[in-house]
Amino acid sequence: MKKYWYNHFEKSKMLYFFRKLYEFPRETLKKGHIFMRSNIITLAHQKGGTGKSTLAWNVAIELGLNYKKYGFKDFVFVDLDNQESVTMTNRLRMQYGQQPLYITRFTDREGEQFRDFINEIDDETLVVIDSGGYDADLNRLAIIASDYVITPVSSDYMEIFGLQKFKNILAELSALKGEGETVKVNVLLNKIDPKAKSFDDIEEFIRETKYFNLMETVIRFRSDFKHSIGYGFSVAELDKNSKATAEVKMLIKEIETKAGLINGKA
């Protein structure tokens, strides 16, 4: 499939292409169901350097090794990032004798194959997606196809500029869905200085933007994240009593509750 870049095409052509890509027979938002369970969870941001893939790895290990307790029959991790960070970490995991994740990859040229993959996923399979840290059709498709999206950001004021651009992307995706639908993501403060106490500027921006929900969990910058990746471990597997582990466990509990994994209500 020909590779399309959004900033190289006029808006009408971009929307036409994306509408063709977004022809889902599955009901992504499961409208009309009283009880809901999110089975596609994506970590997404249009910029790199946010710690997205490291976070995706830790979330995937926690959910992927425990998917049966949520009532799912299968688990798959989807790596859309060109850097293949999670895929390479999974290889290290196998080398160190740990149970690997089942991972499938799609490149930017495989939008139609990814669309078909999404169409074939049933509600009994839990899916975690690491999208690329850039704006591309594939990553936009991952966002709009997901039931729960996590966007990690630091507390640096410059992050607001990245979120501003991401907000524009979410506005375009919302327009594609139409009928007043709003595509929202859950913004997670990540890689935060352990000594930092206040994040007023970025929190205010997040709360005032209708496309963002601010998550309660805060993930601090911890050396355990870097050390654990070197062995293909999660932070919990490296040291179950560390501060990094406690924060990841808190994040997992928030995902379980807000994505409806535990109680069946999103």
Q: Is 142 in contact with 129 (CB distance < 8 Å)?
A: yes
Reported as a single tens digit per residue, the pLDDT across 97-154 is 999 999 999 999 998 899 999 989 999 999 999 999 999 999 999 999 999 999 999 9
Q: Is 137 in contact with 126 (CB distance < 8 Å)?
A: no
CA atoms within 13 A on the CB side of 186: 17
Residue 3 pLDDT:
30
Residue 34 pLDDT:
30
> Cα(59)–Cα(76) distance, rounded to whole angstroms?
12
pLDDT band at 9 (very low <50, low <70, confident <90, very high): very low
pLDDT at 238 over 90: yes
Q: Dihedral of CA 66/42/88/254: which sign?
A: negative
Q: Is 135 in contact with 169 (CB distance < 8 Å)?
A: yes
Residue 15 pLDDT:
52
Pick from 2, 7, 1, 3: which is nearest to 172 by CA?
7
Region 43-49 average pLDDT: 92
pLDDT at 36 over 60: no
Domains of the chain: 37-258 (3.40.50.300)
Region 245-263 average pLDDT: 93
Tokens for 184?
A: 């929202």
Reported as a single tens digit per residue, the pLDDT across 72-85 is 999 999 999 999 99
Reported as a single tens digit per residue, the pLDDT across 197-221 is 888 889 999 999 999 999 999 999 9
Reported as a single tens digit per residue, the pLDDT across 151-166 is 999 988 888 899 999 9
Mean pLDDT score across all residues of the chain = 86
Residue 28 pLDDT:
38
> Cα(174)–Cα(238) distance, rounded to whole angstroms?
40
pLDDT band at 22 (very low <50, low <70, confident <90, very high): low
Pick from 157, 158, 139, 135: which is nearest to 149 by CA?
139
pLDDT band at 13 (very low <50, low <70, confident <90, very high): very low
Percent of the chain at pLDDT > 70 equals 85
Residue the block writes with tokens 């709360």:
207
Residue 203 pLDDT:
93
Specify the 3-state DSSP secondary structure of 212.
strand
pLDDT band at 168 (very low <50, low <70, confident <90, very high): very high
Q: Is 58 in contact with 248 (CB distance < 8 Å)?
A: yes
Q: Is 224 in contact with 238 (CB distance < 8 Å)?
A: yes
For 31-58, letters b (16+ CB in 10 Å) and e give eeeeebbbbbbbbbbbbeebbbbbbbbb
pLDDT band at 265 (very low <50, low <70, confident <90, very high): very low
